[in-house]
C-alpha cells in the first residue's frame, strides 16, 4: 500500500496525506447515510452540544454513553437566543459519534476495508482495534472550531498507539475549516489526558471510571499556537489524512457558505492497555473489532 518514502514522511511529519483513497460513489453513500441518521435522530432533553473548549466541555450522559451508540451533537451556534434552531436539523449537527462503524451497515462497510487494514499494517499498527468513529459536518456558517489538541489526550493507551484516519468527504479548504497540523509535533510529549473521575453520588477522589470528567496536565509545555505554528492541509474530497496520535492539530470555524464533511476513525493496538478512566468506554455487549477482521 505505501512505499518506503511515504512511511518515512509519516514518521518524520506525524501525518500523511493520501489523495484519491476513497471512490466518489463511496463518499456519496456515506454522506447520504449520515444525513439519514440525523433526520431519524430525536434529541434528548440535554440537547448535547459538542465543543472542545476546555472550560465548557459538556460531558453529558449522551456524550459519555456514545462510545457504544450513535448520537448526534449540535453545533454550539445552532441555537438562537430563543433556544430554537436557526436551521433545519441536518444543518445544525456538529457530529455523529461514536460507534456507527459497528452499528450501521453503511458506516461498517466504509470503515472495515482491506485497503485501510493494509495501510494500518504498513504504518506498523499491530492488531488494530477500531475504537471510535465520528462523522463531522463542519456546517456552513456555524461549523465550530476544534481547538489544538493531540488525539492521545482523549484516547490514551499504554503505550500510546492511537492513530487517526481522517477522510475528506467533501473538499477541505482554509475557507471552510480544513485541518491544520504541526509537522514533527508528534515527537513532543503528551500534554494532558481527558479522564473520567468519580461516579454518580460517589466521591471524586480516586474513583476512576466514573461519569465526571477532567483534564489532567502531564506536561505544561504549550501546544503550538494556531494558525501561525501550523500548516493547512487543504485536500480534495476522497483524500485520507493519517494522523499520529501525538500530532498537534486544529481546525478553524467555518464561516463560509460551504460545509466541510469529514469522517474519522481512530484505531488503537490490541496489544496496548486501555484504562477504565478513558472517557470512551464500550459496553460489554459491543466489543471492539479488529480493523483487519475483513481480511481474515
Ligand atoms: Fe483530533
List, for residues 191-200, the tens digit of each pLDDT value: 999 988 764 4
Query: Residue 208: pLDDT above 90?
Result: no
Of the candidates 46, 38, 79, 76, which has an alpha carbon nearest to the alpha carbon of residue 63? Answer: 46
Query: Residue 288: pLDDT above 70?
Result: yes
Chain mean pLDDT for the chain: 90
> pLDDT band for position 85 (50/70/90)?
confident
- Which of 43-52, 133-142, 281-290 comes out lowest in average pLDDT? 43-52
For ligand 1, the distance from its centroid to the CA atom of residue 98, given in whole angstroms, is 13
Cell of 52: 472542545
For ligand 1, the distance from its centroid to the CA atom of residue 42, given in whole angstroms, is 26
- Which of 14-23, 78-87, 239-248 comes out lowest in average pLDDT? 78-87
For ligand 1, the distance from its centroid to the CA atom of residue 46, given in whole angstroms, is 24
Average pLDDT over residues 209-236: 91
For ligand 1, the distance from its centroid to the CA atom of residue 150, given in whole angstroms, is 6
> pLDDT band for position 166 (50/70/90)?
very high
Detail the DSSP E strand segments found in 59-186.
70-74, 93-98, 128-136, 146-149, 163-168, 179-181
CA–CA dist 237, 221 (Å, integer)? 35
Query: Residue 4: pLDDT above 50?
Result: yes
Q: How much is the pLDDT for 53?
A: 52
Average pLDDT over residues 281-289: 94
For ligand 1, the distance from its centroid to the CA atom of residue 74, given in whole angstroms, is 18
What percent of the chain clears pLDDT 90, i.e. is strictly above it? 74
For ligand 1, the distance from its centroid to the CA atom of residue 264, given in whole angstroms, is 9
Q: How much is the pLDDT for 56?
A: 42
Whether the ω angle into residue 214 lies within 30 degrees of 0, i.e. cis, is no
For ligand 1, the distance from its centroid to the CA atom of residue 149, given in whole angstroms, is 6
In whole angstroms, how large is the CA radius of gyration of the chain? 18
What percent of the chain clears pLDDT 70, i.e. is strictly above it? 89
211 vs 21, residue with greater confidence: 21
For ligand 1, the distance from its centroid to the CA atom of residue 203, given in whole angstroms, is 31
Q: DSSP letters of 243-287?
A: EETT--EEE--B-SSS---EEEEEEEETTSB--TTBS----TTS-
For ligand 1, the distance from its centroid to the CA atom of residue 206, given in whole angstroms, is 28
Average pLDDT over residues 263-282: 94
For ligand 1, the distance from its centroid to the CA atom of residue 97, given in whole angstroms, is 13
For ligand 1, the distance from its centroid to the CA atom of residue 249, given in whole angstroms, is 7
DSSP state of 144: P
> pLDDT band for position 146 (50/70/90)?
very high
Query: Residue 207: pLDDT above 60?
Result: no
- Which of 20-34, 78-92, 121-135 comes out lowest in average pLDDT? 78-92
Q: How much is the pLDDT for 202?
A: 44
pLDDT, tens digit, 9 for 90 and up, residues 41-81: 988 665 656 555 544 444 677 788 889 999 999 988 998 88
- The pTM assigned to this predicted structure is 0.92
CA–CA dist 115, 18 (Å, integer)? 12
Amino acid at each position: 500500500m505505501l512505499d518506503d518514502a511515504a512511511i518515512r514522511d509519516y514518521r518524520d511529519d506525524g501525518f500523511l496525506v493520501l489523495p484519491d483513497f476513497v471512490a466518489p460513489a463511496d463518499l456519496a453513500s456515506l454522506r447520504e447515510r449520515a444525513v439519514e441518521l440525523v433526520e431519524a435522530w430525536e434529541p434528548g432533553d440535554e440537547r448535547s452540544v459538542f465543543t472542545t473548549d476546555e472550560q465548557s466541555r459538556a460531558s453529558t450522559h449522551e456524550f459519555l454513553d456514545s462510545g457504544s451508540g450513535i448520537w448526534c451533537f449540535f453545533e454550539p451556534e445552532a441555537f438562537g437566543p430563543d433556544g430554537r434552531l436557526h436551521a433545519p436539523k441536518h444543518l445544525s449537527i456538529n457530529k455523529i459519534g461514536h460507534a456507527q462503524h459497528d452499528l450501521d451497515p453503511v458506516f461498517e462497510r466504509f470503515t472495515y476495508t482491506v485497503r485501510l487494514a493494509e495501510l494500518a499494517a504498513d504504518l506498523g499498527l499491530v492488531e488494530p482495534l477500531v475504537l471510535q468513529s465520528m462523522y463531522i459536518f463542519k456546517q456552513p456558517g456555524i461549523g465550530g472550531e476544534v481547538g489544538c489538541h493531540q488525539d492521545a489526550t482523549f484516547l490514551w493507551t499504554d503505550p500510546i498507539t492511537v492513530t487517526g484516519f481522517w477522510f475528506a468527504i467533501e473538499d477541505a479548504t482554509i475557507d471552510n475549516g480544513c485541518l491544520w497540523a504541526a509537522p514533527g509535533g508528534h515527537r513532543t510529549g503528551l500534554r494532558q489526558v481527558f479522564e473520567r473521575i468519580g461516579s454518580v453520588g460517589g466521591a471524586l477522589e480516586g474513583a476512576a471510571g466514573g461519569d465526571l470528567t477532567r483534564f489532567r496536565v502531564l506536561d505544561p509545555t504549550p501546544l503550538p499556537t494556531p494558525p501561525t505554528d501550523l500548516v493547512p492541509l487543504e485536500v480534495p474530497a476522497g483524500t485520507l489524512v493519517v494522523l499520529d496520535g501525538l500530532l498537534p492539530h486544529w481546525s478553524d470555524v467555518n464561516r463560509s457558505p460551504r460545509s466541510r464533511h469529514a469522517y474519522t476513525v481512530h484505531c488503537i493496538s490490541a496489544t496496548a492497555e486501555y484504562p477504565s478512566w478513558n472517557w470512551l468506554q464500550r459496553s460489554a455487549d459491543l466489543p471492539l473489532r479488529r480493523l483487519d477482521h475483513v481480511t481474515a
